[in-house]
Each structure stands twice: as C-alpha cells, then as structure tokens.
Amino acid sequence: MSQPATSQFLVYGNTLAASMTVLALSKALPKHITLLWVKPMSPCPSDVLYGGLSSPDAYHFNLQYGVTEPELILDTDTTFSFGTHFKHWGDDKRSWMQCFHLPFAATAGVELHHFMTRHKTILGDFLISAQAAIKGTFAHPPVDNPQSPLSRAEYGYHFDPAQWSGIFSKHLDKTRVTLIEQEISSLEHSHKPEHSQGHIDYVQLADGTKLQADLYIDCSGTSSQLLSKLNNDFACQRTVQVSNKTQTKAQTGPACRSVTGNKHGWQLITPLRCKDHIVTLVESPYTTESEHGLRLELGYRHKAWQGNCVGISHAAYAFEPLTPAPYILLKKDIERLLELIPVSLDTRIESHEYNRRFIDDVVHAELFHRAHYAGQHNAAQQDVVYEANEKLDRKLSQYKHRGILASFDFEPFNQQDWAILHAGLGRIPERYDRMAEQVDFDAMQTQLDAMCAGMAHLASKMPPHHLYLEKLSMYLRDKHGHS
C-alpha cells in the first residue's frame, strides 16, 4: 500500500464552482498534492444558471469548510429560502409552493401524501415551510423542540454566486493554493500512445506560460474550456435564451423564489437583501437575435471525467435554474471528486466510477426537471419535449396509479420533493395506500383539520422574512462585533 509522490491539480475558472472546488480541495488534499487555481479576471456569466438557490444541505456543506451562516447573512446579500413558489405553470396555470421539507409524518405507517388523496386535501396546506413562504414569514426551525411543526421545515439560501465565490475564496488557506489570475489561451493534447482517449499535456496562459498538472479540473462554466477540447459528447436537449437583471427594493422579499410561467418560457425572481434578482428564460423558438442575454444549450456530457480532466458543474452540464438542481449537482460533483481523488497516475478506475455516479446524478436530477413539463399540452411549456424515459414513466405511472413514489439509488431530489411537485402539478393518484384504511376516517379528518389550522396559525405568527433578517443581522453584529 503506497500513496503517490508529489502531484499537482490545476483548477480553472472564475465561477462559484471554481471557488467551492478549490476551497474543498485545499482542505481535503494531502500535502503531497499541490493546488493551482488559474482564475480568469472576469466572472463567468453562466453562474446565472444557479438561479441563486441552494438546497438545505448547503448549511452543513459550507460549515465543514469554515463558512458560517452568520458570515453569509452579514457579509453578503444572502437571504433564507423555503423553496420556490411556482405560478401560472403549465396548461392549468398551476400555482404551488415547491418547498423544502423533512420526511412527512406517517400515521399507522402510511405517509402523509396518501391521506391527502384519501381526504381530498391539499398537501401544501400541511407543510409549514409552504405556508410560511406564501405568507412571507420566516423563522429558523427549532432544533430542540421536535413537537413544533416548524422543526420539520428545511431551508436553503438565496444567494448571489459572485458574493458566495468571494466568501469561499476568503476562506482559502493561501499556503495551500497558488493563485494565477489569467486566462488559459490554449491547451496541448498529450500524444503519448496510452493517452489516445484524450489527455491534456499542458495548458498555455495568455502570457505564454505553460502549466502542467496531473489533474485538470474544469470549472469554466458552460464554455467548458478544457473538457470540451477532450471530448465532444455534449447532448443538447433544449436551447434557451437567459437574461437577468437586478432590481433594488425597499425591503427584502419573501423567503422563497417565484417562478412564473408565461407564453414563451418563464421568469424567476430571487429575493436578495433589499433587491430582487430577476432571470428570464425564453425557449429557443421565441428568441430573437436582438434580445439581450445568454443563449444556452441545456443538456449534459456523457463523461464528466475524460483522461486527466474533470468538468465540474456547468462545464459538464447545463440545467435551467428552475429548481436547486444546479447547486445540488455542484455539491455532488465536489463530494464525488473528493471521494475519488486519484491515488496514482492511472485514473481509469476513478474516472470510470466518477462518470457512473455523475450520469446517475445528472439523469436523476433531469427526471425532476422533466416532471415539471410532463403531460403539458397547451401551455407555453408544450414546446419543451423530451424523449420518452423509462425511469420517469415509472415514477409518473406509479404515482398516478396509487401514490407510490418510485425511487432510485441516491437521487438528488427526495421523496418529499417529488410528492410536493406531483401535488403542485395537480397529479392526483387514483388510489392511495390501502393501509390508510386502518385509520378511522373521521378521526383522521379531525386530525388533519387541526393540523391545517395549526400550520396556518403558526405561519401567520412567524415574523416577516425581511424583519427576521434585519433583527438577526442586528443580533449577529452585536454578537460578533461586526460593523
């Protein structure tokens, strides 16, 4: 058993993915692996694809690298998020709150969503995070009071990718990372016979400097400046035009984003501190040359690790920022890379396993996105047509049939996410779990009525999101001595 001698990893990009990856690697890599960060001066515009939304596990992910919630609240425009409020979506102009939530309470071993079918009620009325988000209120879920319905809520963050990049960069151990602020102008392929599948020999910077590394980590965004030179396997599924702007506001918006469907696509509003970040997505048939914005191909590569190059986040895939999928996948990319840091120069095993997990994650995240469009016929979303998919068919047919949430290994979106989405889109199972019959109908109805009223009452008693943030900031400033 031996570990390799000194080696060097090179990360390329000026993106959220780059700063998070460099920070994670700098904390995890053993000393014999040196880290080089080649960072172009201009930030990458494709960071808009994060939609400014993290999943709830961002809290712990950040914390393990020293980035705390108080820091994000005090030093950036970060706000809290219970999820995304969809409006006018699809054929029936559906509106629902796609909230974050811990596993639903079960009664007699039967999950809550089956009782929604049985009692013909609306799932969102029983989810405190949905209720609070719609009312514009927020409070941290208590960790010491499991009896409180709020303890089942989960929250993520609304964030500005450039600001978060700055915070992650600030936490870098400068002794572990060599930063070079330049662009890579070209790369040279290795011509060794063993590297016939695509391998970088060296990269050349704008000033002519040549840099060699054992592993190149491409975080250059959708331009995929390294990985795309090694393989050309990007499968484009849709082309869209994405534009974005920021609008200042007198007070911070609610603890949720809003996505509003329209004739040609949809519009996203992400509330940051005293401003809204507004993203507009237009499907390709409706885009015009004169429109501003980024023309993007949505889809993914079949291999994110080719030879000695790994593409992280948008260098390997591009998802519309409809859900937190772009953030979730970024986090998974980093975790997958850390688990598979090469132990020798022969990285065939690492790349093979990385790509297997990568494809699973991307395909499973895509299922969730596809599910937003499945079954729409007459609305703007009719233009979003995906090929038939066996896994999605199983998920949709099992849910419609009897409320079964068919699952696959380690999906990025959990059963609650799926149940909320199905309910939001008006998918009502034809049947429910038969074990629900063990629970007396009237007693359950009384319990549900009380739950519903309790949720509404609690949500209305919680403070408005903007006030909560202001008071929290004041408290944190006092506590931490921030100015």
Partner 1 sequence: MRVCILGGGTAGWMTAAALSKKLKNIINSITLVESDTISTVGVGEATLPHIRLFNEGLGIDESAFMKQTEATYKLGIEFCDWGRLGDSYVHPFGDFGQTINGIAFYQHLLKLTKHGDYGVLNDYAFGIVAAKNNKFQLPKDGKSPLQQAFGYAYQFDAGLYAKFLSGFAQNNGVRRIEGIVVDTLIDKSSGDVTAITLDDGQQISADLFIDCSGFRGVLIEQTLQSGYQDWSQWLPCNRAVAVPCERHGPLSPYTRATARQAGWQWRIPLQHRTGNGHVYWDEFISEDEATSVLLKNLDGPALSEPKQLYFKTGRRNHFWKNNVVAIGLAGGFLEPLESTSIHLIQEGITNLLELFPHESPSPSANTLDKAEYNARMALQFERVRDFLLLHYVATKRDDSEMWRYFSNMTLPDSLQEKIDYWLHRGYVQRYEFGSFLPPSWIAVMLGQNLRPQHYDPRVDNYNFVELKQQAQAMRTDIANGVNQAKNHADFLVAIGAASNSQLIRAKS
Least distance to partner 1, CB of residue 228, Å: 28
Which tokens in the block code for residue 293?
A: 């914005």
Among 72, 203, 226, 340, binds partner 1 (CB under 8 A): 340
**Are β-strands 200-205 and 106-107 bridged in parallel, bridged antiparallel, or unpaired?**
unpaired
Measure the CA–CA gap between 175 and 110, rounded to whole angstroms: 54
CB 210 within 8 A of CB 220: no
- For the CB of residue 439, give the shortest distance to partner 1 in the complex, in Å: 9
Q: Which residues contact 366 (CB under 8 A, 6 or more apart)?
A: 300, 319, 325
Establish if 414 lies at the interface with partner 1 (CB under 8 A).
no
- Binding test (CB under 8 A) with partner 1, winner from 264, 431, 454, 477: 431
Q: Could you give the string, one character per residue 372-401, with x where binding to partner 1 holds by CB under 8 A and - elsewhere?
A: ----------------------x--xx--x
Q: Provide the phi-psi class of 301: left if phi over 0, else alpha when psi is between -120 and 50, else beta.
A: beta
Applying CB under 8 A, which part among 15-23, 144-152, 192-200, 335-343 lies near partner 1? 335-343
Query: In whole angstroms, what is the distance from residue 373 CA to residue 22 CA?
Result: 36
Closer to partner 1 by Cβ: residue 348 or 461? 348
Q: What's at 296, amino acid-wise?
A: L
Nearer to partner 1, 343 or 453 (CB): 343
Of 434 and 457, the one with the shorter C-beta distance to partner 1 is 434
If one asks whether residue 344 binds partner 1 (CB under 8 A), the answer comes out as yes
Q: In the range 346-365, which residues lie near partner 1 by CB under 8 A? A: 349-350, 353
State the nearest-atom distance from the C-beta of 21 to partner 1, in Å: 15
Spatial separation of the C-alpha atoms in residues 411 and 415, rounded to whole Å: 9
Convert residues 68-107 into a mask of x (bound to partner 1 by CB under 8 A) and - (unbound): ----------------------------------------
Between 182 and 415, name the residue whose CB sits nearer to partner 1. 415
Distance between CA atoms of residues 151 and 145, nearest Å? 7
Q: In Å, how far are 219, 220, 253 from 225, measured between CA atoms? A: 9, 6, 37
Considering Cα of 84, then 91, then 281, then 412, what sign does the dihedral take? positive
Q: CA-CA distance, 254 to 230, in Å (whole number)?
A: 44
Instruction: Assign 85 to helix, strand or coil.
Output: strand
How crowded is residue 129: how many other Cβ atoms within 10 Å of its Cβ?
A: 31
* Number of shown-chain residues binding partner 1 (CB under 8 A): 39
**To the nearest whole angstrom, how small is the minimum distance from the Cβ of residue 26 to partner 1?**
10
CB of 63 to partner 1, least distance (A): 12
Q: Which of 179, 278, 338, 476 is the binder for partner 1 (CB under 8 A)? A: 338
| Residue list 235-264, contact with partner 1 (CB under 8 A) | none
Measure the CA–CA gap between 393 and 411, rounded to whole angstroms. Answer: 16
* Rg (alpha carbons) of the chain, rounded to whole number: 23
Q: In the complex, which residues of this chain contact partner 1 (CB under 8 A)?
A: 1-3, 27-33, 64, 109, 338-344, 349-350, 353, 394, 397-398, 401-402, 404, 406-410, 431, 433-435, 437-438
